[in-house]
């Protein structure tokens, strides 16, 4: 083995170790910040849905009350602890509008979808 080959092998090994170390540190950093990122993303989604709903003339109180009523009809034995608008689907017109809520109850987290017909919000789906 020549000196040049030894130097090339040493450089390749050094770069390999640096790349591996960098990848490990990056993964640890992502794992450490994941809960904060997820919480921030959830908050941004909520704020965006609320802004979109307000921008399109939806009455937030009316939609929220419709969601509470729809959940109570589907799960009369379970009370709502928290209700949060997380997504607005608003194609042209009003008959295909959807409002999707995250419902926290004593038995877990649910996804409630309301549909719209004219000015009336109605139950569409509960996951």
Lowest mean pLDDT among 27-36, 59-68, 112-121: 27-36
pTM across the whole model: 0.60
Residue 83's DSSP bridge partners are 103
Residue 30 in 3-state DSSP?
helix
Q: Which of 21-25, 74-78, 119-123 has the highest mean pLDDT?
A: 74-78
Residue with tokens 């729809």: 70
pLDDT for 9-61, tens place per residue? 888 888 888 888 888 888 888 777 778 877 887 887 777 777 766 656 577 78
Q: CB neighbours (10 Å) of residue 83?
A: 16
């Amino acid at each position: 083995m020549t000196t040049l080959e030894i130097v090339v092998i040493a450089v390749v090994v050094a770069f390999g170790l640096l790349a591996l170390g960098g990848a490990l540190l990056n993964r640890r950093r992502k794992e450490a910040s994941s809960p904060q990122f997820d919480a921030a993303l959830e908050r941004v989604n909520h704020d965006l849905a609320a802004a979109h709903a307000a921008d399109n003339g939806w009455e937030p109180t009316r939609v929220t009350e419709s969601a509470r009523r729809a959940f109570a009809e589907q799960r009369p034995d379970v009370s709502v602890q928290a209700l949060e608008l997380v997504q607005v689907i608003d194609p042209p017109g009003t008959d295909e509008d959807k409002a999707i809520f995250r419902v926290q109850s004593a038995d877990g987290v649910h996804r409630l979808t309301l549909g719209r017909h004219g000015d009336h919000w109605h139950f569409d789906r509960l996951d």
